[in-house]
Chain A
Amino acid sequence: MLTTWFVIGVSVTYLGVLFAIAFYGDRRADAGRSIVGRGTIYALSLAVYATSWTYYGSVGRAASTGVGFLSIYLGPTIMLALGWLVLRRIIHISHRHRITSLADFVSARYGKSVRLGGLVAAIAVIGVVPYIALQLKAVSNTFEIIRRAPEVTESSALGQVPLLEDTALYVALLLAGFTILFGTRHLDATERHEGMVTAIAFESVVKLVAFVAAGITVTWGLYSGFGDLFGQAAAAGHTALFTLGDSTGTWVWLNVLSLFAIVLLPRQWQVGVVENVDERHVKQAMWMTPLYMLLISVFVLPIAAAGLLRFGTGTDADTFVLTVPMAAGLDSLALLVFVGGLSAATGMIIVETVALSTMVSNSIVVPMLLRRGYRGRLARLILGTRRLSIVAILLLGYGYFRLAGESAALVSMGLVSFAAVAQFAPAIIGGLYWKGGTRNGVMTGLAGGFAVWTYTLLLPNFAATGWVPRGFLDHGPFGIEALRPEHLLGITGMDNISHGMFWSMLVNVGCYVVVSLLGRPQAREQAQAVLFVDALDDPSRPRLWRSRVPVRALHDVLVRSMGHRAAAKALEGVDLAVKSGQDADPDLVHHVETVLAGAVGAASARMMLTSVAGEEQLGVEEVMEMLDEASQVAALEERHRLARELHDSVSQALFSMTLHTRAVELALQKQGGDPTGPVARGITELRGLTQDALAEMRASLFQLRPDALREDGLAEAIRKQSAAIASREGVAISVEAPGYRLPLDDRTEEELFRVVQEAVHNAIKHARPGRIDITLLDDSVDLPGAVVIEVTDDGTGFDPATVSSGGMGLTSMRERMRRIGGGLVIDSTPAGSTTVRAVLPPATAGEAR
């Protein structure tokens, strides 16, 4: 027997635990000991995908369509397997440009368009609010059912609960409080909410445990295993359980739909992209999240079978998870299931509202205010907007639930929401891999796809709720049969989701591609396209700001939009007292824009900077410069070709010349020629000149190929470089190095090479030596496992103590060694020689291999 107050007590306690966990997560993050720095937490937080709609609804679907419900999980499995290709790329770009929402991503990709961001945000809100309503309905219904225990009530018989007695209202209000507390704690350039993520991961564990516990108890407690359960179901004629349900066409479409949903639903984007702290976590989520989904679905079919056996087919299968344990008198299990459902609903609502509120504030409200010339303090305003939109979105969801809650139509809103966010797929996937997509293409595609979605999926839903006359559905608008929303052009034989998806995707992709191909992108769009599509290949980014902005103006903008503390943090390392009057260099402007983008969105950040810097002058030349990368690559290839040809022809010829002159010299000696005579001297000189030419040639060849170091390895590169310097400077340089290639990584090789170069250069410049010895030791006797390089000269030394540390490039050499985890020792006396010794200790050397 569960009394109402007991259930309320448990629910409130559960939410209290959630608050405590979120609080703890935030505290840990503040203390710098983050717990979300683990792949497991990331994988679990992605499981926010499993909402109360799937928690209860999967069983409902299974009761009528058998394993048909699995498509909702199989699509995501495929998408997550592609995680390294797609999700990681999105994360990479988002982090680099401080993109904090899906709307911002689309807007940033297509030239930081304000209108586009607003459109995406609006579609997301319209598409997802009914989905939030669905969660509230689940909470409200299950609460009503469980508090009436042991009597089992069907949710259809519940009727509308009076407003003030409705649990969903209180849950909505409590969740608004939670979300405001942990989702908008501060305005941060990264928009990460570690406490929230920790709580979400915890909720994922709770719902899994609850569902699996119910499944095990039903399967082995009430029945004796799968065989018994399905045997009885077969005997009772529940054949739907044994099929795939629906048509295979529907199955395919649902797979495709959920494949996009796992990334494109605002909550998935929030936990998967915005809250991601390390790209490598994606690797873990690629298999762990699907495994989670598998575990939570194993018992769906058995519970559906048990429910059908107990209550028959005419009943509300959506609450079987709850009613089967209740009917068996397992009250505590029913309570656990209720808490699991509560966690599924609350997790979804929390993350979804945070994601939507960021979109609303950054892509709709702030740009609108800036357009109107708002000049006040933005930081507080943004936080206020977010808090207000959280409350507004939750109340909207609740209002929708109150208005449409009774109809079965609300249940089908889950898939309709999936179809709404799938409209973003062409813009985002296309934007990642296709440079040709333009802003106008996306605008028309999105608007068209959304219009078709509204017509074929949303309006029929309204019709089912009774908000739109039904005749419209059955006979088309104005009686035009070809325009029936669920049977456009009279097509039949497709279910409404497949039908809606087919038409909306056709229009969406079609407009996107056609308009993009026919139109001409603006310079800025092209620039952004290059930045996004080539994100993984190109570590440097072009400087886009060419206008002159005083540092002070930048500081003011930062203070205005993020507050003093955040502004100071963003401008760390810039001496404001000295520099505030000067113009900022393009790098700094870019940095400030990126930081701002994190707080207010890419489009707004661009607008704000434009307001202080004037319209930026992004001319055709700059864009050409960026698009010229390809020609740079071509130039490199040309140099390679040249180097190869010179090596094969001139170098070889010079080499044979040295051999021949040597032969002539010897022949002359044999014939008894005068070794001091003019002929002999001439030939010796000729040989010297040829050898010099050969060394010079080799040095030039080495310099022609910028990645020679990478190709030849450290030892060989040092040898060639030394030969070049030796012939140019007239110094004898000996190189002693192992004949094999040291197994070091590229970066370590590069730094070590530069250190040697610098040391040799220093020696020649300051010590005027007669010879330089370079020794490269891998695994030396006194330091096994370490890599040691010594550069010794016999010139005039210096006292290391008196030379300022900044002089002679010593700082840069030290810095280079420090970067790769090694050290530098300089041994020199004013009277004697100098030895520069670079040591890479065994541990680091091992790691760098």
Chain B
Amino acid sequence: MRRGARDDKRFTGLTILAAATGFVLFLPPLLTAANDGGTVAGVPAVAAYLFGAWLAVIALVALVVRRSG
């Protein structure tokens, strides 16, 4: 296989992985664990969890994009 095509496949694979991470983090059952009505440092726990997870997924995608050049 050509080098360019192989890099492209690799990149696509990594982004699919990032999207899958998003699926796992954003949807139940992991989400339900955070949805307990409590607070974390004064902020609703479920909101803190979702924003944290969201930022993590964005960072992951940004990292993969940066690495691919």
A window 24-77: CB within 8 A of B: 66-67, 70, 73-74, 77
Which of these binds chain B: A206-214, A290-298, A601-609, A775-783?
A290-298
Interface positions of A (Cβ within 8 A of B) = 66-67, 70, 73-74, 77-85, 225-228, 230-231, 234, 239, 241-244, 248, 251-252, 255, 283-284, 286-287, 290-291, 294, 298, 301, 710, 745-746
Known contacts: A67-B50, A230-B44. The answer to whether A291 contacts B58 by CB under 8 A is yes
In the bound complex, how far is the Cα of B44 from the Cα of A252, in angstroms? 20
Nearest CB of chain A from residue B17's CB, rounded to whole Å: 9
Q: Contacts A66-B47, A78-B22, A248-B32 given; indicate if A227 touches B15 (C-beta within 8 A).
A: no
**Are B31 and A230 touching (Cβ within 8 A)?**
no
Contact B43 A81 (CB under 8 A): no
Contact of B42 among A66, A85, A226, A239 (CB under 8 A): A226
Q: Are B27 and A251 in contact (CB under 8 A)?
A: yes
Cβ–Cβ contact B22 & A77, under 8 A: yes
- B58–A294 CB distance below 8 A: yes
- Smallest beta-carbon distance A92→chain B, Å: 12
A225's closest neighbor in chain B, by CB? B42
Q: How far is the CA of A78 from the CA of B44 in the complex (A)?
A: 23
Question: Do residues A283 and B68 form an inter-chain contact, with CB atoms below 8 A?
Answer: yes
Q: Chain A residue with minimal CB distance to B23?
A: A78
Do A242 and B44 contact each other (CB < 8 Å), given the known contacts A84-B12, A710-B2?
Answer: yes
A290–B58 touching, CB < 8 Å: yes
The answer to whether residues A298 and B41 also contact, given A74-B22, A287-B61, A745-B3 and a CB cut-off of 8 A, is no
Return A753 CB to nearest CB of chain B, in Å.
16
Kindly provide the distance from the CB of B26 to the nearest chain A CB, expressed in whole angstroms. 5
Instruction: Determine the distance from Cα of A828 to Cα of B50 in the docked complex, in whole angstroms.
Output: 73
Cα distance, A242 to B62, chains bound together (Å): 30
For this complex, 21 residue pairs linking A to B, each with C-beta atoms less than 8 Å apart, are: A70-B50, A74-B54, A77-B22, A77-B57, A82-B16, A85-B12, A85-B15, A85-B16, A226-B41, A226-B43, A243-B44, A244-B31, A244-B46, A286-B15, A287-B58, A287-B61, A287-B65, A290-B58, A294-B58, A301-B47, A746-B3
Closest to A290 in B: B58
A287 contacts B62, C-beta separation under 8 Å: yes
- Are A248 and B31 in contact, with the CB atoms below 8 A? yes
A230-B44, A239-B37, A301-B44 as given contacts; A284 in contact with B22, CB under 8 Å: no
Contact B61 A252 (CB under 8 A): no
- Give the chain B neighbours of A225 by CB distance below 8 A: 42
B12 touches A78 (CB 8 A): no
B19 with A78: CB separation less than 8 A:
yes
Near A by CB (< 8 A), chain B positions 2-25 give 2-4, 11-12, 15-16, 18-19, 22-23
Q: Which residues of B contact A82 (CB under 8 A)?
A: 15-16, 19
CA distance A85 to B38 in the complex (A): 38
> Are A242 and B58 within 8 A (Cβ)?
no
Residue of A nearest to B1 (CB): A710
Name which residue of chain A comes closest to B63, CB basis. A287
Minimum distance in angstroms from A433 CB to a CB of chain B: 13
| Interface-centre pick from B19, B47, B54, B62 (highest chain A CB count, 10 A) | B47
Whether the pair B15, A84 counts as a contact (CB closer than 8 A) is: yes
Contact indicator A227/B41 (Cβ below 8 Å): yes
Are A298 and B51 within 8 A (Cβ)? yes
Q: Which of B37, B41, B50 contacts A74 (CB 8 A)?
A: B50
**In the complex, chain A residues whose CB is within 8 Å of the CB of B27:** 251-252, 255
Q: Name the CB-closest residue of B to A293.
A: B54
- Say how far A742's CB is from chain B's closest CB, in angstroms: 14
A149 to B55, CA, bound (A): 38
Q: Contact partner of A78 among B26, B42, B50, B62, CB < 8 A? A: B26
Taken together as a complex, chains A and B put the C-alpha atoms of A74 and B65 apart, in Å, by 19
Closest chain-B Cβ to A83's Cβ sits at a distance in Å of 7
Inter-subunit contact B39/A230 (CB<8 Å): yes
- Nearest chain B CB to A42 CB, angstrom units: 13
Report the minimal beta-carbon distance from A588 to chain B, rounded to whole angstroms: 30
| A67 and B47 contact, CB distance less than 8 A | yes
Q: Which residues of A contact B55 (CB under 8 A)?
A: 294
Report whether A84 and B35 are in contact in the complex, using a CB–CB cutoff of 8 Å.
no
> A84 to B18, alpha carbons, bound, how many Å?
12
Q: How far is the CA of A225 from the CA of B42 in the complex (A)?
A: 9
Contact B51 A294 (CB under 8 A): yes
For the A-B complex with A81-B22, A242-B38, A287-B58 known, give 10 more contacts whose Cβ atoms are closer than 8 Å.
A67-B44, A77-B54, A82-B16, A84-B11, A225-B42, A234-B39, A242-B47, A243-B37, A283-B65, A298-B51
Q: Please, which residues of chain A bring their CB within 8 A of the CB of B37? A: 239, 242-243
Shortest Cβ distance from B22 into A: residue:
A78
A83 and B12 CA atoms in complex are apart in Å by: 9
Which chain A residues lie closer than 8 Å to B54 at the CB level? 70, 73-74, 77, 290, 294
Q: How many Å lie between the Cα of A31 and that of B59 in the bound state? A: 37
A303 to chain B, nearest CB (A): 13
B11 cross-chain contacts in A, Cβ below 8 A: 84
Across the A-B interface, the 6 shortest Cβ-Cβ residue pairs: A227-B42, A81-B19, A287-B62, A242-B44, A287-B61, A78-B22
* Minimal Cβ-Cβ distance residue in B for A231: B42
What distance in Å separates the Cβ of B65 from its nearest Cβ neighbour in chain A?
Answer: 5
Cα–Cα, bound, A290→B55 (Å): 9
Contact assessment for A243 and B35 in the assembled complex, using a CB-CB cutoff below 8 Å: yes
Expressed in whole angstroms, the minimum distance between the Cβ of A274 and any Cβ of chain B is: 23
Q: A81–B13 Cα gap in the complex (Å)?
A: 11
